[in-house]
Amino acid sequence: MPDKSKKGQAHQIEGGGASRLKTLGSKVWYFFNSLKLTLTVLISLAVMSVLGTVVEQNQPIASYAAKYGAAWTKLIVYMRVYDMYHSWWFLLLLVMLTLNIVVCTFERFPPKWKSLLNHKKDKFDPKLIDRLSNGRTFIVEATAVSVRQRVQEVFKKKGYKVMTFDEAGGYGVYAWKGIIGRFGSDFTHISLLLILIGSMLGTAYGYKGYKDLNVGSVMDSPSGDYKLRLDKFWIDYYDSGQIRQYNSVLTVIEDGKEVLTKQIWVNEPLYYKGTRFYQSNYGAAWDKIEQAYLALYRKGADKSEKPFTVKWGESAAVPGTRYSVKLTGYAADFYYDEKTRAMGSISADPNNPVVLVEVWEGKKPVSSSLLFQKYPGIFPAIPGSNYDLAFVNYRPTLFSGLSINNDPGTNVVWAGSIVMGLGFVFAFFVYHRRVWVFVAASGEGEWDVKLGGMINKNQLIFDRELKDIAGFISTGKFRS
State the pLDDT at residue 392.
93
- Pick the residue with more confidence: 239 or 452? 452
- The verdict on residue 252 lying in a domain is no
- Whether the per-residue pLDDT at 24 is higher than 90: the answer is no
Looking at residue 13, what is its pLDDT? 47
If asked whether residues 390 and 465 sit together in one domain, one would say no
Distance CA 202, CA 196 (A): 10
What pLDDT score was predicted for residue 57? 80
Do 391 and 445 sit in the same domain of this protein? no
In a domain, 243, yes or no: no
DSSP string, 25-66: HHHHHHHHT-HHHHHHHHHHHHHHHHHHHHS-SS--HHHHHH
Terminal Cα-to-Cα distance of the chain (whole angstroms): 92
- pLDDT value for 20: 67
- Is 419 domain-assigned? no
Last residue within a domain, chosen from 84, 115, 146: 115
- What does the pLDDT read at residue 462? 93
> What's residue 4's pLDDT?
52
Decide if pLDDT at 92 tops 80.
Answer: yes
Is residue 442, in this structure, part of any structural domain at all? yes
Residue 90 has pLDDT above 80, yes or no: yes
How far is it, in rounded angstroms, from Cα 460 to Cα 472? 19
The three-point CA angle 241-244-249 to 5° equals 120
- Residue 375 covered by a domain: yes
pLDDT at residue 326 in the model: 96
pLDDT, residue 88, reads: 86
Helices within 158-236 (DSSP H only): 184-205
Q: Is 410 exposed, middle or buried (0-12, 13-18, 19+ CB in 10 A)?
A: middle
Alpha-carbon 257 to chain mean position = 32
Are both 104 and 152 inside the same structural domain? no
For 414-443, the pLDDT digits (tens) are: 999 999 999 999 989 999 999 999 999 887
In this prediction, residue 16 carries a pLDDT of 57
| pLDDT of 19 higher than 80 | no
Q: What is the mean pLDDT of residues 138-164?
A: 93
By CB neighbour count within 10 A (0-12 exposed, 13-18 middle, 19+ buried), where does 236 fall? exposed
Please tell me the predicted confidence (pLDDT) of residue 21: 64
Beta-carbon contacts of 479 under 8 Å, excluding residues fewer than 6 positions away, are 467, 468, 471
What single-letter DSSP state applies at residue 316? E
Same domain, 357 and 443: no
Query: Do 392 and 440 sit in the same domain of this protein?
Result: no
Q: Do 151 and 87 belong to one domain?
A: no
Q: Are residues 358 and 443 in the same domain?
A: no
- The parent domain of residue 78 ranges over 12-115
DSSP annotation string for 376-416: TTSS-SSTTSSEEEEEEEEEEEEEEEEEEEE-TTHHHHHHH
Asked if 379 and 435 sit in the same domain, the reply is: no
Q: Is residue 29 part of a domain?
A: yes
User: Cβ atoms within 10 A of the Cβ of 326, count?
Assistant: 18
Question: pLDDT at position 5, please?
Answer: 52
What are the residues facing 435 on neighbouring strands?
A: 175, 453
What mean pLDDT is predicted for residues 383-403?
A: 90
Whole-angstrom distance, CA of residue 175 vs CA of residue 465: 13
Q: Say if residues 465 and 433 touch (Cβ distance below 8 Å).
A: yes
Q: What is the largest CA-CA distance in the chain?
A: 132
Please, is 397 exposed, middle or buried when counting C-beta atoms within 10 Å of its C-beta (0-12, 13-18, 19+)? buried
**pLDDT for 26:** 82
Res 15: pLDDT: 54
Average pLDDT over residues 185-208: 87
Kind and range of the H or E run holding 328: strand 323-331
Question: DSSP assignment of 61-108, as one string?
Answer: HHHHHHHH-HHHHHHHHHTTGGGGGGSHHHHHHHHHHHHHHHHHHHHH
CATH number of the domain that residue 143 is part of: 3.30.310.80
What percentage of the chain has pLDDT greater than the value 70? 94
Q: What is the pLDDT of the chain when averaged over all its residues? A: 87
In a domain, 151, yes or no: yes
Amino acid at 471: G
pLDDT band at 14 (very low <50, low <70, confident <90, very high): low
- How many structural domains compose the chain? 3
- Rounded to 10°, the helix 88-117/4-32 angle is 100
3-state secondary structure of 180: helix
Q: Please report the pLDDT score of residue 435 as a whole number.
A: 95
Determine contact, residues 220/227, Cβ cutoff 8 Å. yes
Co-location of 294 and 391 in the same domain: yes
Same domain for 107 and 162: no
Q: Please give the average per-residue pLDDT across 155-179, as a whole number.
A: 90
Q: Which of 465, 438, 447, 429 is nearest to 174 (CA)?
A: 438
Q: How confident is the model at residue 355 (pLDDT cuts 50, 70, 90)?
A: very high
Out of 201-205, 277-281, 345-349, which region has the weakest mean confidence (pLDDT)?
Answer: 201-205
Mean pLDDT in residue range 157-167:
91
Q: What is the DSSP letter of 123?
A: P
Last residue of a domain, one of 68, 84, 115: 115
Dihedral pair phi/psi, residue 67, rounded to 5° = -90, -40
Are 308 and 374 within one domain?
Answer: yes
Residue 37: inside a domain: yes
Contact 402, 277 (CB under 8 A): yes
Closest alpha carbon to 73 in 47, 55, 46, 92: 55
Angle at 315 between CA 309 and CA 316, to 5 degrees: 45
Do residues 388 and 298 share a domain? yes
Q: Structure pTM?
A: 0.62
Give the pLDDT score at 324. 95
Residue-wise pLDDT for 44-59, tens only, equals: 988 888 888 888 887 7
% of the chain beyond a pLDDT of 90 = 43
Q: Which of 186, 181, 183, 169 shows the shortest CA–CA distance to 434?
A: 181
Q: State CA 363 to chain mean position distance.
A: 60
